[in-house]
Chain A
Amino acid sequence: KQEVTQIPAALSVPEGENLVLNCSFTDSAIYNLQWFRQDPGKGLTSLLLIQSSQREQTSGRLNASLDKSSGRSTLYIAASQPGDSATYLCAVKTGANNLFFGTGTRLTVIP
C-alpha cells in the first residue's frame, strides 16, 4: 500500500527566506505527483503537478522536483512571504486513479 510522508510536520521561517518542503512515497509506481496548498478549514489549491516522466515543474516562486526511483519530491519556495503561510500537501496518483496524500507541512512565514 502506498504511504506518503512529509517532513517537517511544521516549519516557521522569517519572511524572505528560501525553504524546502519534503515528500517521500513508498511505491515508485506512480503516474504523477501533485503539490497542494490548504488554508485553514478550506479546500485544496493545486500548485504544481509533475508527471512521472518529468523531473521538475516551476510556477513563479515555486519549484517542485521529482525523483521517482528514490520515492522523493521537494517543493522549493523562494523568497517566502507571509501570504505563503498555509499547510502544504503532496499527493501521488496511482494506477487506481485515486490520490494518496501526505499528512502535510504547516508553514508559518513570520513578517
Chain B
Amino acid sequence: EAGVTQSPTHLIKTRGQQATLRCSPISGHTSVYWYQQALGLGLQFLLWYDEGEERNRGNFPPRFSGRQFPNYSSELNVNALELEDSALYLCASNDYRGSYEQYFGPGTRLTVT
C-alpha cells in the first residue's frame, strides 16, 4: 500500500513569491493535515482538511491557505513568502472517523531566499 506522498521534494523561492505544495493521502484516508517544521521551532500544526472542507487551522496568518480536492489530495499555498517561511512542510493523513493515527509523508523542504 502506497504511503503519503508529497511534491516537490525541494522548493526554492524568492521573498514575496507564492509557493504551492502538494500532498496525496493514503488510499481510503479522507483527512489531510499540514504541519510546519521550522528550524528551532519544532513541528507546528497548520491546517486540517476533511471531505473537502477546512476543519481547523493553527496559529498562522491567512497567507497560508490550502484546499482539498474530490480525490482527497491537498494543496498548501503560501503567499507573499517571507524568509521565516523556510521550513520542512509535512503532510499527514488518516481516516478521521476510524483510526486516529496520522501517517506522515516525507515532506517538502521550502527555502525562501
Contact residues of A with B, CB < 8 Å?
31-32, 34, 36, 41-46, 49, 89, 91, 93, 96-104
Contacts and interface: CB of A to CB of B under 8 A. Distances in A.
A34 B33 CA distance: 15
A96 B56 contact: yes
A99 B45 contact: yes
A84 B102 CA distance: 22
Contacts of A49: 100-101
B11 to A, nearest CB: 14
B55 to A, nearest CB: 7
Contacts of A101: 35, 42-44
A42 B107 CA distance: 7
Contacts of A44: 90, 92, 104
B48 interface: yes
B25 interface: no
Contacts of B96: 97
Contact of A97 (B4, B35, B48, B103): B48
Contact of A104 (B42, B44, B107): B42
Q: Shortest 5 CB-CB distances between A and B: which pairs? A: A101-B43, A98-B45, A44-B104, A43-B106, A103-B42
Interface in B65-97: 88, 90, 92, 96
Interface of B: 4, 6, 31, 33, 35, 42-45, 48, 55-56, 58, 88, 90, 92, 96, 100-107, 109
Nearest to A31: B100
Contacts of B31: 97
Contact of A43 (B42, B58, B105): B105
Q: Is the interface of A mostly helix, strand, loop or mixed?
A: strand
A89 B43 contact: yes
Contact of B56 (A32, A43, A45, A97): A97
Contact of B102 (A34, A89, A104): A34
A101 B90 CA distance: 13
22 contacts: A32-B100, A41-B88, A41-B107, A43-B6, A43-B104, A45-B104, A46-B103, A49-B100, A49-B101, A96-B56, A97-B31, A97-B100, A98-B33, A98-B56, A98-B58, A99-B33, A99-B43, A99-B45, A101-B42, A101-B43, A103-B42, A104-B42
